Amino acid sequence: MKDFILNSTAVFQISVFTITLYYLVISVFGLYKKKDNTEYKGDEKRFALIVAAHNEEMVVGHIVESLKNLDYSKDLYDIFVIADNCTDGTAEVARNFGAVVYERFDGEKRGKGYALEWMFSKIFEMDKKYDAIVVFDADNLASRNFLKEMNKKLQEGYKVVQGYLDSKNPHDSWISESYSIAFWTSNRLFQLSRANLGLSNQIGGTGFCVDVEILKELGWGATCLTEDLEFTCKLVLNGYKVGWAHDAVIYDEKPLTLKQSWNQRKRWMQGFTDVASRFFTKLMKKAIKDRDFVAFDCAIYTIQPFVIVAFGLAAVLTFLQNNSEHGLNIFVINYLFNPIVWIIFSMFQFLFTPFVMTLENKLSRRMFVFFTLYSFNIAIFNMAFDSTVKLVVTVAAHTAYLLVFTAVLLAVEGKQSLKIFVWYLLYGIYTLTWVPITIQGIIDKDKKEWSHTKHTRQISINEIESIDSKSVA
C-alpha cells in the first residue's frame, strides 16, 4: 500500500510539475520586448467601435469620451453603444456624449455574447462599410494610440488583435491590486511571450479587434460566459492566430471586494470549463493531425480550471508530507532536487512577479531591491529549520521576520511602499482562492446565470495618463 501511495503521488506530482515547467518555459520568452521598427503606413483601416453596456450610466460617458479623443482620423471610425437590457440612463448618457446607441431588450438571450452577436448583424447590414470591429466594455478607457496600434497590426496581416489589458484602479484595495498584478504579469508572461514565439494570443473579453470579413466567414456564435475564449478556440481551429498589440492599452475597472471578485472569477471558471468540454478534444485532434503547436498550446490553455485544481491538490499533498511527524509516504517534487537548488528556485518564484512588474514600470527598481532582500528569508529558514521543527515554531519565526522587515521598510520608504509590499504578500492569498473558486466553477459549469459587476468608480483617461506618467518618473 505504501508503494502504491508513493508511486501514485509521484506520477501526479511529476505531471503537475511538467505542466508548471511548460508554462515557465513559455513565459521566459515574454521577458524580452522587441523594438517595433515597422514603418507606420498611416491611418487606413475603417473601424466600428462597439461598447457593450448593461446599466452602466455611471461609467459609459468616460469610455465614449476617451474613444472620441483617440489619435486617429475621425472619419475612419464610429462609436456604437449597445444598451443591453438597461433599466437606467445608460442610453441617454451615451447619446449625450456623442455615441450612436442601439437599445436591445431580450429577457431570454441575456449576456454580452448575445448582445455582441446582435450588434454585429446590425453593422453587417449598414450602408457604411467597416474593415474591422473593436469591442470594449463600458467601464474601459482606451489609450490615445489604441487604433493606430490596431491599424498597424491589421496592416501586418493579422485578422484578430488583442490589446494590453491594464487596470484603472490598481490601488483601491488589495483585491484590485491583486487583479492588477495578475493582469500585468499575464500581459507579459502569457500574451507577449506567445507573440514572440509565433503562437496565438488569447482574446481577453475587451479591447480586441476583429476583421469584419473573418467575422462574417466564421460567425460569432460565442455566447457562453467566456465568449472571448470560445471565439479564440474557433479561430485557432480554423487556422487563424490572434495577434498581440502590447502598446494598445485598455484600462479596465477591477472589483474592490473579495465577494465581487469571487463571483466574477467563478463565472470565468464556469465558462472555461464549458469551453474545455467542447473544444479541448477538437484542438488536440488538430494539434496531432496537423502537427500544430498553436492548437496544442490553445488546448492546454482551455483546461486551466483542471490545472488549477491539480496545483491546489499538489500543494496540499506537499504540505501534508512536509508537516507530518513521521511522513505519509507521499512523493513531493523537491525529492528530485538538491536542497540548495530548491531554495534558489523558491526565491526565484517569489521574485519573478515583482521582476515582471518592474519591467512593466508598475514597480520601482528600488522597491524590487526590498523584495529581493525579503526573499532571503526563504534561504534562512530552510537552513535553520528542518522537518522536525514544529509548525508553530516555524510560523512564529516567519512572523517575527516579517514584522521586523515591514518596520524597516516603513521607516525607510514610507506608507505607500509598505502598502505595495503587504498587498503583494496578500496576492498569495488571492492566488490560493482560485482553487475553491475553480472547484465551484467546474461544478456549476452548466449554469448560465450572468453576474454583473456594479461599477462605482469614475475616472477619466486624463487622470489615468497623469498617474502613469508619475509612476514612470
Cα dihedral angle (213, 218, 221, 225), rounded to 10 degrees?
A: -90
* 132 found inside a domain: yes
18 and 59: one domain?
no
Which cell numbers in the block locate residue 352?
519573478
Residue 226: what pLDDT? 82
Residue 91 within a domain: yes
- In tens, the pLDDT along 115-159 reads 999 999 999 999 999 999 999 999 999 999 999 999 999 999 999
Q: In the structure grid, which three cell numbers stand for residue 333, read together? A: 517534487
**Which residue has better confidence, 472 or 169?**
169
Contacts of residue 131, Cβ cutoff 8 Å, sequence gap at least 6 = 45, 46, 47, 154, 211, 212
Asked which of 258, 274, 295 is the last residue of a domain, the reply is 258
For residues 249 and 338, membership in a common domain is answered with no
Distance CA 72, CA 150 (A): 11
Mean pLDDT across the chain: 89
Q: Are residues 99 and 7 in the same domain?
A: no
- Residues 59, 208, single domain; the answer is yes
Long-range contact set of residues 386-389: C-beta below 8 Å, sequence gap at least 24: 387/322, 387/323
pLDDT of residue 324: 65
Q: 472: pLDDT confidence band, cut at 50, 70 and 90?
A: very low
Range of the domain at 145: 45-258
- Residue 17 placed within a domain: yes
In sequence order, the 6+-apart residues with CB closer than 8 A to the CB of 436 are none
161 lies in some domain = yes
Confidence of residue 90 (pLDDT cuts 50, 70, 90): very high
Q: What pTM was computed for the model?
A: 0.89
What single-letter DSSP state applies at residue 187?
I
Do 381 and 397 touch, CB atoms closer than 8 A? Answer: yes
Cβ atoms of 82 and 119 within 8 Å: the answer is yes
Tell me: do 312 and 212 sit in the same domain.
Answer: no
Least-confidence region, from 59-68, 232-241, 295-304, 384-393:
384-393
Q: How far is CA 220 from CA 21, 281, 353, 359, in A?
A: 34, 21, 35, 36
Reading the block at residue 402, the C-alpha cell is 516579517
Q: What is the pLDDT of residue 255?
A: 92
Separation CA 399–CA 406 (nearest Å): 11
Cα separation of 141 and 251, whole Å?
5
Does the residue 37 lie in any domain? no
pLDDT tops 60 at residue 168: yes
Do both 96 and 187 map to the same domain? yes
Least confident of 64-73, 109-118, 142-151, 164-173: 109-118
Contact 423, 178 (CB under 8 A): yes
Q: List CB contacts of 415: < 8 A, sequence separation 6 or more.
A: none
Which value, to the nearest 10 degrees, does the dihedral of the CA atoms of residues 357, 306, 23, 18 take? 140
Model pLDDT, residue 461 = 63
Question: Residue 40: its pLDDT value, please?
Answer: 76
Sorted by sequence, the CB contacts under 8 Å of residue 18 that are 6+ apart come out as: none
Same domain, 135 and 229: yes
173 within some domain: yes
Q: How far is 45 from 35, CA to CA, in rounded Å?
A: 23
Same-domain pairing of 158 and 236: yes
H or E element that contains 249 = strand 242-252
CA 119 to chain centre: 26
Mean pLDDT of 369-379: 92
Q: CA 266 to CA 347: how far, in whole Å?
A: 30
Q: What is the rounded distance in angstroms from the CA atom of residue 424 to the CA atom of residue 65?
A: 33
Task: Determine, yes or no, domain membership for 287.
Answer: no
Q: Where residue 327 falls among pLDDT bands split at 50, 70, 90?
A: low
Q: How many residues does the chain have?
A: 473
Structure confidence at residue 397 (pLDDT): 84
Indicate whether 12 and 64 sit together in one domain. Answer: no
Q: Is residue 153 part of a domain?
A: yes
For residues 206, 132, 195 and 430, what is the CA-based torsion angle, rounded to 10 degrees? 0
Of 375 and 328, which is predicted with more confidence?
375
Looking at the structure, tell me whether residues 237 and 200 fall in a common domain.
Answer: yes
Secondary element (H or E) of residue 451: none
Pairing of strands 141-142, 132-137: unpaired
Is the predicted pLDDT of residue 452 greater than 60, yes or no?
Answer: no
pLDDT of residue 456: 59
Give the Cα separation of 380 and 407 in Å (integer).
19
Residue 37's pLDDT band (boundaries 50, 70, 90)? confident
> What CATH number is given to the structural domain containing 86?
3.90.550.10
Residue 454 predicted with pLDDT over 90:
no
Same domain, 220 and 82: yes
Containing 87, the helix (H) or strand (E) segment is: none
- In this prediction, residue 110 carries a pLDDT of 83
Cα 473 to Cα 459: distance, rounded to the nearest angstrom: 21
Indicate if 326 and 356 belong to the same structural domain.
Answer: yes
Task: Print burial letters for 184-213: b (CB count within 10 Å at least 16), e (below 16).
Answer: bbbbbbbbbbbbbeebbbbbbbbbbbbbbe
Measured CA to CA, the distance from residue 449 to residue 365 in angstroms comes to 44
Number of H helices, E strands in the chain: 18, 8
CB 208 within 8 A of CB 160: yes
Q: Where is pLDDT greater, at 434 or 35? A: 434
Give the residue from 261, 251, 256, 250 showing the smallest Cα distance to 172: 256
- What average pLDDT score do residues 343-356 get? 91
Q: Cell numbers for 294, please give them.
A: 498553436
Cell, residue 420: 505595495
Q: Output DSSP code: residue 132.
A: E
**Residue of higher predicted confidence among 322 and 188:** 188
Domain count, the chain: 2
